[in-house]
């Protein structure tokens, strides 16, 4: 029925349904980036984990120090039957975790993104972490939030995987005074308003006694990532651990997971990591000779980086206007980068026969240039 034909009596007699706020899309409420594991710039296949390293899905990495080994990979096994999850596997067992050993999956969160929390004041807000998890190994696990800043504090929280090989949703609310503490509401609890580390969210898989704190209690001991109840997930090469739909938000209620479009999540990830693939004759970056062996070039960025980046080794070539081509396997270095720049000035040596100040082009001849500004 057209709107113009509806009478006032009809409007009055028809029930009006007002949707609940929690059923609606509340944009940008998730402090976690890539919580549904849609973006995998580095790799999707099983890749060996290394300490403090992101090597598969964007924004998620490993904290590792033990006698075992792990891999991570992309999985299509999800609680909704669509999208991807993060799959960890134990590939070398460590049946006895020593006091100083650990294994954990983490994401670092930029401090300036966490300013709505009001940490360091009496008005500090509660936060709620929700996620889906699945493992063949049942028992007590922990997830910790480490608050960085001028003073670091940490809080471990226990949760239980009750049924083997079954997706379970977990919800954990953390108050500013959890454990009857005042660390977060005092001035030392403040978060820096910068591009530095604000939170580290760490899903524990194994932690030795040096890392045991008290459940749901803020601690000034920055090593208290876990509790003594944490299972040793590293004890068998049969063990797996799936993670999906991780959300961290303000308040004491877990709202429905915030599904972003892929392009939005990709752009957020590219603030911390961008890659440029090589290939035959990909010479697209303006440059100039710096002496006879070095090229200065400018690379356009997809989005501005969080900070001045590091780059990995790359095979590259340079052309000058006379058609001279010369190759180099030297790792490019950053010449200059300031926050919010949309271009990256680089310097690459190892060439020969170039002319100082002569305009040329620089580009990848193979491999891949990884540009990392991770926390």
Residues 194 and 47 in one domain: yes
Q: What is the pLDDT of residue 26?
A: 59
Q: What is the pLDDT of residue 21?
A: 46
**Is residue 208 in a domain?**
yes
Residue 271 neighbours by CB under 8 Å, 6+ apart: 303, 304, 305, 306, 373
Residues 205 and 247 in one domain: yes
pTM attached to this predicted model: 0.91
**Is residue 127 in a domain?**
yes
Q: How many domains does the chain have?
A: 2
Residues 175 and 49 in one domain: yes
Residue 349 to residue 295: CA distance in whole angstroms: 6
Residues 256 and 342 in one domain: no
Residues 71 and 216 in one domain: yes
Residues 109 and 245 in one domain: yes
* pLDDT, one tens digit for every residue, the chain (375 residues): 343 333 434 434 344 444 444 444 457 899 999 999 999 999 999 999 999 999 999 999 999 999 999 999 999 999 999 999 999 999 999 999 999 999 999 999 999 999 999 999 999 999 999 999 999 999 999 999 999 999 999 999 999 999 999 999 999 999 999 999 999 999 999 999 999 999 999 999 999 999 999 999 999 999 999 999 999 999 999 999 999 999 999 999 999 999 999 999 999 999 999 998 877 666 678 899 999 999 999 999 999 999 999 999 888 888 877 778 889 999 999 999 998 899 999 999 999 999 999 998 888 888 889 999 999
Q: State the CB neighbour count (10 A cutoff) for residue 236.
A: 14
Residues 78 and 214 in one domain: yes
Residue 172 to residue 223: CA distance in whole angstroms: 20
Residues 247 and 286 in one domain: no
Q: State the CB neighbour count (10 A cutoff) for residue 98.
A: 13
Q: What is the pLDDT of residue 208?
A: 98
Question: By the 8 A CB rule, do 187 and 122 touch?
Answer: no
Question: By the 8 A CB rule, do 348 and 326 touch?
Answer: no
Residue 33 neighbours by CB under 8 Å, 6+ apart: 58, 59, 107, 109, 265, 268, 269
Range of the domain at 211: 21-260
Residues 287 and 240 in one domain: no
Residue 249 to residue 202: CA distance in whole angstroms: 16
Interior angle at CA 120, CA 117 and CA 121, nearest 5: 85
Residue 271 to residue 34: CA distance in whole angstroms: 12
Residues 288 and 328 in one domain: yes
Residues 292 and 230 in one domain: no
């Amino acid at each position: 029925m057209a709107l113009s034909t509806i009478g006032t009596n009809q409007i009055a007699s028809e029930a009006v349904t007002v949707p609940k706020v929690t059923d609606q899309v509340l944009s940008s409420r998730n402090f976690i980036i890539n919580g549904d594991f849609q973006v995998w710039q580095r790799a999707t296949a099983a890749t060996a984990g290394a300490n403090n390293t992101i090597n598969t899905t964007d924004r998620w990495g490993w904290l590792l120090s033990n006698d075992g080994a792990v891999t991570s990979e992309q999985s299509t096994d999800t609680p909704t039957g669509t999208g991807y999850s993060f799959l960890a596997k134990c590939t070398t067992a460590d049946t006895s975790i020593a006091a100083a050993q650990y294994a954990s999956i983490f994401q670092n969160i930029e401090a300036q993104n966490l300013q709505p929390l009001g940490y360091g004041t009496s008005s500090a807000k509660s936060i709620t972490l929700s996620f889906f998890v699945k493992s063949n190994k049942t028992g007590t696990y922990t997830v910790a939030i480490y608050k960085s800043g001028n003073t670091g504090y940490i809080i471990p929280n226990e949760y239980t995987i009750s049924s083997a090989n079954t997706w379970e949703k977990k919800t954990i609310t953390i108050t500013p005074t959890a454990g009857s503490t005042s660390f977060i509401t005092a001035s030392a609890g403040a978060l820096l308003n910068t591009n530095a580390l604000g939170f580290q969210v760490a899903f524990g898989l194994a932690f030795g006694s040096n890392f045991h704190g008290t459940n749901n209690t803020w601690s000034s001991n920055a090593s208290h990532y876990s509790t003594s109840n944490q299972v040793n997930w590293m004890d068998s090469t049969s063990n797996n651990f799936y993670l999906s739909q991780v959300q961290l938000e303000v308040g004491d209620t877990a709202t429905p997971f915030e599904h972003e479009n892929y392009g939005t999540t990709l752009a957020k990830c590219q603030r911390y990591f961008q890659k440029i693939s090589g290939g035959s004759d990909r010479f697209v970056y303006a440059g100039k000779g710096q002496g006879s062996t070095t090229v200065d070039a400018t690379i356009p960025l997809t989005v501005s980086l969080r900070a001045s980046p590091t780059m990995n080794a790359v095979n590259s070539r340079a052309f000058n206007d006379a058609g001279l081509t010369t190759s180099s396997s030297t790792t490019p270095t950053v010449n200059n980068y300031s926050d919010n720049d949309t271009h990256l000035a680089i310097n690459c040596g190892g060439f020969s026969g170039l002319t100082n100040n002569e305009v040329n082009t620089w580009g990848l001849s193979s491999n891949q240039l990884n540009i990392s500004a991770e926390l």
